[in-house]
Amino acid sequence: MSEQAPEAAPRVAFLPGRSDVLLAAGAFIMLGLPVMIGGPTAALTAAISNAEHEPFAPAAYAVCVIMPLATAFRRTLPAASAALIYLCALAHFAVGAHLLPVDLLVLSALYSVVLYGSKFAQILGIVGAYIGAIIIAVWSGTLAFGDRPRPINGLYAFLGGAGAVTMTWSIALTRRLRQREIAALAAHNRALQEDRDQQASLATTAERNRIAREMHDIVAHSLSVMIAQADGGRYAASASPAAAVTALETIGQVGRDALADMRKILGVLRDDGTDASPRLPQPVDSDLDELITQMRSSGLDISLVRIGVARPLPPGAGFAIYRICQEALTNCLKYAGPHARITVVLQWLNSSVDLKIDDDGRGAGAPNDGRGQGLLGMRERAGVFGGSLTAGPREGGGFRVHLQLPVPTSPPPTPAPGLPLSPADHSSKDTP
């Protein structure tokens, strides 16, 4: 059994990163160490401090270590790092070592606190840097040359110091705004990605539900008709062979129709967009007569009533009416009983089309009771076109399915090839 590698310890938030540690080490080697060991930098500093013959105070040596060390925390603790560097610069200036090479780290601290610090820390860092420039300007114009004040030197020192502070502040602020813009773009891209994933998931779910509805309608309807025909043919075989042959022919035709419908669904699933072959039109509400005839051959007593003048429907709405009627009649075949009478009423109103399927049979079975997959699929089909569907027991016995679909007042756009055709005008009454 192999041993698992131990998990790495979580990194403490305020510990400096590798790049900042290297920066601090470089600052100490280049700016602090030469002052501590003497050399050209130390001599230059002594000249600036007007103390050629006096050793540096111990505070000067301390700040040569502390200020580079504080630089290591410029990202993780920007406010604390800047405050420590500012205080060290002020301390060594106060004890007589007025200017040291490590004072350049004041600009680094200002840059870091503007880039990584809070708004309050930024303000304090900027104000502190300008105060430092003023202190250096006053010292350069009054005290740097002993008893010979030179105000012009103070002006030059202020302009140079304030210019360096302003430039550092501008660069850091520009980069901070750029980082904020990049972060906003990244957040926007993440939101778009999440929205796209959600839309894809919703589209996948909707397509899965649509395919499930189609497969349920095809399989449930076809099997119900085939079972009814097979049972009727078996009972009629001895007394009426011709009726048995008719039942077998109906079974074969229903099976072929179901196979063709299943192939359509599989073709949609496998369609890669390169198939340019024409698609067969789907059944619509004008094909209800053929559906009623087929269901009558299975033993149902059905009356079809059409009221009003048919009008163009949105693409797919006629197919939804057909499928809902088909599913309702299939349920009648399964649950209504052998002697139930069924009435199908298709009524065109001013702003809607109503479809009612009533039977006087036993109604839905107890396990389903209006909550089966078929009724759920019918409600989903109605909801796609802004319609409503109710299903439940009728007063006095039987079961009713009632569909209401809104009909646009203006003609809908012409459907593309392969979409359901608009129904033709029908105004008839068909009774058995």
Q: Identify the CA nearest to 168 among candidates 208, 128, 217.
A: 128
d(CA 209, CA 333): 24
The H or E element spanning position 164 is: helix 151-236
Q: How confident is the model at residue 99 (pLDDT cuts 50, 70, 90)?
A: confident
The H or E element spanning position 355 is: strand 352-359
d(CA 68, CA 372): 75
Report whether pLDDT(304) > 70: yes
The H or E element spanning position 406 is: strand 399-406
Residues 6+ apart with CB under 8 A from 253: none
The H or E element spanning position 388 is: strand 388-393
Q: How confident is the model at residue 185 (pLDDT cuts 50, 70, 90)?
A: very high
Specify the 3-state DSSP secondary structure of 343: strand
Instruction: Please indicate whether residue 56 or residue 316 has the higher confidence score (pLDDT).
Output: 316
β-strand partners of 305? 345, 429
Express each pLDDT in 343-353 by its tens digit: 999 999 988 99
Q: What does the pLDDT read at residue 52?
A: 43
When the pLDDT of each residue in the chain is averaged and rounded to a whole number, the result is: 76
Q: What does the pLDDT read at residue 8?
A: 44
Q: What does the pLDDT read at residue 174?
A: 92
Q: What does the pLDDT read at residue 110?
A: 92
CATH superfamily of 284-432: Histidine kinase-like ATPase, C-terminal domain (3.30.565.10)
Q: What does the pLDDT read at residue 41?
A: 52
Q: What does the pLDDT read at residue 431?
A: 40
Instruction: Please indicate whether residue 273 or residue 103 has the higher confidence score (pLDDT).
Output: 103
Express each pLDDT in 374-396 by its tens digit: 788 888 888 888 899 999 898 87
d(CA 251, CA 230): 7
Instruction: For strands 341-348 and 301-307, give the pairing.
Output: parallel
Report whether pLDDT(280) > 70: no
Counting beta carbons within 10 angstroms of the beta carbon of residue 47, is it exposed (0 to 12), middle (13 to 18) or buried (19 or more)? exposed
Q: pTM, whole model, 2 decimals?
A: 0.49
Express each pLDDT in 4-39 by its tens digit: 444 444 444 567 778 888 888 888 888 878 877 775
Q: What does the pLDDT read at residue 369?
A: 43
Domain boundaries, the chain: 18-149, 284-432
Report whether pLDDT(167) > 60: yes
Mean pLDDT of 229-252: 70
Sign, Cα dihedral of 197, 203, 209, 212 = negative
User: From residue 71, how far is each of 164, 281, 373 by CA, in Å?
Assistant: 19, 75, 69
